[in-house]
Each structure stands twice: as structure tokens, then as C-alpha cells.
């Protein structure tokens, strides 16, 4: 694919070109950037989805800024690196701002049940490698934050937030099953 085909395909939201670019052609580049920037590697699909949303946002303003003075892959390397650095900064701010564990409703539980439930929740959430997944589960499920408010706070669309939540719940389920069968 030429640079013109890539830009035109992304602007026109051509699924074939988008998949070829992000999941074949640019995957080694983006994976290398992610490994260099993030301590714990985030989910590739999640972060590429966020990058793609960023690139096509504001009527594809970022893509339209590409002036063909260098190769598209060189341009993508710079844009992706800057975006991933901002993404990491937002994750660190989100994690540092989140409360440890919300107080449990102990109306029908004994104090020991509440403490045990809180410890179980802590254990499961701490076993998750992705701090963003922990934050989404805490905020949406434990704190019962409205999805629209959390999406705005995180700077993602509601659709992306639901995808993040789905992956977070799958990760949490996997961890719970592993711990249950130990």
C-alpha cells in the first residue's frame, strides 16, 4: 500500500486498509513503541483502538495534517509515540486519583464478612496487570459511576469504555478462576 492509499483508506474508514495497517503492517512498530513506553504491556487491541479513534477524531484532522514529506510509517511512529506517552500519563493520573476500595455496605453482613469480601476484592484487583482495567472495574461496578461520566473523565467514547470494561471483566474472571483452582 502506498502512503496515499493508507491515508485515503483511513479517512474513508476502509476496514480492509485499517486492519492491514494496524494489525499487520504497523503491528511490529506499535508493539515496539508500547514495550518501550509502558511498564506492563496494555492490551494491543485496546490501545490501537484508542489510537485509531484519536487519528480519525475531528473529521480525521490528524490524518489530514500528514503532508507526505516523509513516509507514513515514520509519521505514525512520531504520532503514536506522543499519543502513547499522553495515554500513559492519563493512566498514571487515573490510578493515583482512584480510591483504594469503597466502603462496603455492611447492613446485612457481619463485620468479618465485610472484611473478607474487601480482602477478596483487593486480591483479585491487585492480581490484574492493567491498572486501567482495575480503575474501570472499581469506578463502574464498585462505585457505580455512570458510564457517560467515566467516559468523559477518561477521554474515551462510551463504546470504547464498554470494550475496556468487557476486556477488564474477562481478565478479572480469568484471574478469579485461576485463584479458585489453585
How high is the pLDDT of residue 1? 85
| Mean predicted lDDT score pLDDT of the chain | 82
Radius of gyration of the chain (CA): 19
Residue scoring higher pLDDT (94 or 19): 19
- The CATH code of the domain that includes 159 is 1.10.10
Q: What is the pLDDT of residues 85-120, one digit of tens each?
A: 888 887 765 555 555 555 555 455 555 555 566 567
How high is the pLDDT of residue 106? 47
Q: What is the mean pLDDT of residues 129-140?
A: 86
- 3-class secondary structure for 13-50? CCHHHHHHHHHHHCHHHHHHHHHHHCCCCCCHHHHHHH
Q: Are residues 123 and 73 in the same domain?
A: no
Q: Are residues 83 and 111 in the same domain?
A: no
Q: Are residues 17 and 79 in the same domain?
A: yes
Last residue of a domain, one of 69, 96, 123: 96
Q: Are residues 92 and 25 in the same domain?
A: yes
Task: Provide the terminal-to-terminal Cα distance of the chain, rounded to the nearest Å.
Answer: 49
Tally of domains in the chain: 2
Whole-structure pTM value: 0.55
Residue scoring higher pLDDT (73 or 110): 73
Q: Are residues 33 and 67 in the same domain?
A: yes
- Cα dihedral 163/167/170/171 (nearest 10): -160
The residue segments making up the domain with residue 106 are 99-180
Cα 180 from Cα 169, distance rounded (Å): 16
Q: Are residues 109 and 158 in the same domain?
A: yes
Check if the beta carbon of residue 68 is closer than 8 Å to that of residue 3.
Answer: yes
Q: Are residues 90 and 9 in the same domain?
A: yes
Confidence check: pLDDT of 166 > 90: no
Last residue of a domain, one of 81, 96, 111: 96
Q: How confident is the model at residue 176 (pLDDT cuts 50, 70, 90)?
A: confident
Measured in residues, the chain has a length of 182
How high is the pLDDT of residue 172? 83
Q: What percent of the chain has pLDDT over 70?
A: 82
Last residue of a domain, one of 76, 96, 116: 96
Q: What is the pLDDT of residues 22-72, one digit of tens each?
A: 999 999 999 989 888 887 767 888 889 889 999 998 888 899 998 888 999
Q: In terms of Cα–Cα distance, which of 113, 124, 17 is closest to 72?
A: 17
Amino acid at each position: 500500500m502506498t502512503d496515499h492509499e493508507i491515508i485515503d483508506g483511513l479517512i474513508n474508514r476502509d476496514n480492509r486498509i485499517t486492519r492491514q495497517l494496524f494489525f499487520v503492517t504497523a503491528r511490529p512498530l506499535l508493539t515496539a513503541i508500547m514495550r518501550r513506553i509502558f511498564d506492563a504491556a496494555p492490551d494491543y487491541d485496546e490501545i490501537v483502538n484508542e489510537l485509531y479513534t484519536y487519528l480519525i477524531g475531528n473529521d480525521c484532522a490528524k490524518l489530514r495534517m500528514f503532508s507526505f514529506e516523509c513516509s507514513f510509517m515514520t509519521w505514525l511512529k512520531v504520532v503514536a509515540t506522543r499519543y502513547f506517552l499522553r495515554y500513559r500519563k492519563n493512566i498514571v493520573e487515573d490510578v493515583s486519583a482512584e480510591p483504594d476500595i469503597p466502603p462496603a455496605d455492611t447492613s446485612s453482613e457481619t463485620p468479618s464478612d465485610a472484611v473478607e469480601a474487601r480482602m477478596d476484592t483487593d486480591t483479585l484487583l491487585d492480581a490484574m496487570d492493567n491498572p486501567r482495567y482495575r480503575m474501570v472495574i472499581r469506578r463502574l461496578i464498585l462505585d457505580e459511576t455512570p458510564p457517560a461520566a467515566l467516559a468523559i473523565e477518561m477521554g474515551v467514547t462510551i463504546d470504547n469504555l464498554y470494550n475496556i470494561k468487557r476486556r477488564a471483566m474477562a481478565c478479572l474472571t480469568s484471574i478469579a478462576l485461576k485463584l479458585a483452582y489453585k
